[in-house]
């Protein structure tokens, strides 16, 4: 069982919809991440939060809006997405960031389809 | 900048065969090295790690040794099972964040393994 929980598991949304992805961890980790993954490719980093502050934004389009309400929760708000945004969205956490000795723990992801 | 190169897949093996997935890296200093595994329909799981030269990481019958002289971290398993079918990612975090894109986890391209009964 993964220690990082993501909801929902699957999401289908139209290009005019607004939806949110949610992620939760209770390992006391102070760094949380959003990744986007296309089929059989490595995950691509989108955002990093360290101590609830946005640390890295990998030039992600503004239609993706992250939020970190507290040290255990991470949200990704979606608005006006494009079909090419369809992918597996993975949340991860680690003890610290940067974390040379701190491996990432991943959730099972949200499979997003934009129609 | 830091980078990871993995052997291309897919790799197809028969059950009980010996597995090697090659991974080499380029990094400044002494990075930490990781193998992650992704089973179908799931997220990534940490399989094993090594944080200094000559360390051997091991888990679930898989092993990898941090070789500084060859900048390699090859994944091996003596006898694979059908349940090992997955995509395997080699990854690193650099010792110096300034050279490692701010301390990010750098992934290889992944190697798909398919084990036939």
Task: Give the pLDDT score at B2.
Answer: 85
Please, which residues have CB within 8 angstroms of residue A77's CB and are 6 or more apart in sequence? Answer: A18, A19, A20, A64, A65, A66, A67
User: Above 90 in pLDDT, residue B93?
Assistant: no
Task: Give the pLDDT score at B15.
Answer: 97
Tokens matching residue A19: 């939806």
Task: Give the pLDDT score at A9.
Answer: 96
CA distance A80 to A65: 11
CA atoms within 13 A on the CB side of B5: 7
CB atoms within 10 A of CB A63: 14
Higher pLDDT, A9 or B8: A9
Cα B92-B95-B100 angle, rounded to 5 deg: 65
Nearest to B43 among A90, A98, A101 (CB): A90
Exposed (0-12), middle (13-18) or buried (19+): which is A93, by Cβ within 10 Å?
Answer: buried
Q: Which of residues 49-108 of B touch A (CB under 8 A)?
A: 49, 51, 87, 89, 93-95, 97, 100, 102-105, 107-108
Q: Is A45 on the interface with B (CB under 8 A)?
A: yes
CA distance A68 to A45: 16
CB B29 within 8 A of CB B92: no
Question: What's the DSSP call for residue A38?
Answer: -
SS (H, E, C) chain A: CCCEEEECCEEEECCCCEEEEEEEECCCCCEEEEEEECCCCCCEEEEEEECCEEEEECCCCCCEEEEEEECCEEEEEEECCCHHHCEEEEEEEECCCCCCCCCCEECCCEEEEEC
Q: Which residue on chain B is closest to A10 by alpha carbon? A: B41
Q: What is the pLDDT of residues B61-70, one digit of tens each?
A: 999 999 999 9
Coil, helix or strand at residue B115: strand
Task: Give the pLDDT score at A1.
Answer: 53
Nearest to A42 among B94, B103, B108 (CB): B108
User: Above 90 in pLDDT, residue B76?
Assistant: yes
Find chain B residues with C-beta within 8 A of A92's C-beta.
Answer: 44
Tokens matching residue B111: 């190697």
Q: What is the pLDDT of residues A39-83, one digit of tens each?
A: 989 999 999 999 999 998 999 999 999 999 999 999 999 999 999
User: Above 80 in pLDDT, residue B100?
Assistant: no
Q: Which of residues 11-40 of A touch B (CB under 8 A)?
A: 40
């Amino acid at each position: 069982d993964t220690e990082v929980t993501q909801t929902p598991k699957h999401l289908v949304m139209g290009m005019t919809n607004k939806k949110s992805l949610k992620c939760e961890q209770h390992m006391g980790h102070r760094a949380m991440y959003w990744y986007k993954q296309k089929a059989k490719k490595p995950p691509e980093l989108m955002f990093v939060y360290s101590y609830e502050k946005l640390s890295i934004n990998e030039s992600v389009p503004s239609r993706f809006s992250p939020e970190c309400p507290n040290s255990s929760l991470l949200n990704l708000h979606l608005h006006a997405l494009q079909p090419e945004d369809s992918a597996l969205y993975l949340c991860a956490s680690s003890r610290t960031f940067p974390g040379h000795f701190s491996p990432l723990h991943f959730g099972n992801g949200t499979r997003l389809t934009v129609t | 900048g830091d980078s990871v190169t993995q052997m291309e897949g897919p790799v197809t093996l028969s059950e009980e065969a010996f597995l090697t997935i090659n991974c080499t890296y380029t990094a400044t200093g002494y990075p930490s090295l990781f193998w992650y595994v992704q089973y179908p329909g799931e997220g990534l799981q940490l399989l094993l790690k090594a944080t200094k030269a000559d360390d051997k990481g091991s888990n679930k019958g898989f092993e990898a040794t941090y070789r500084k002289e060859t900048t390699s971290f090859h994944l091996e398993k003596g006898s694979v099972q059908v349940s090992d079918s997955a995509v395997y990612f080699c990854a690193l975090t650099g010792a110096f964040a300034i050279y490692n894109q701010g301390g990010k986890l750098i992934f290889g391209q992944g190697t798909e393994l398919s084990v036939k009964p």
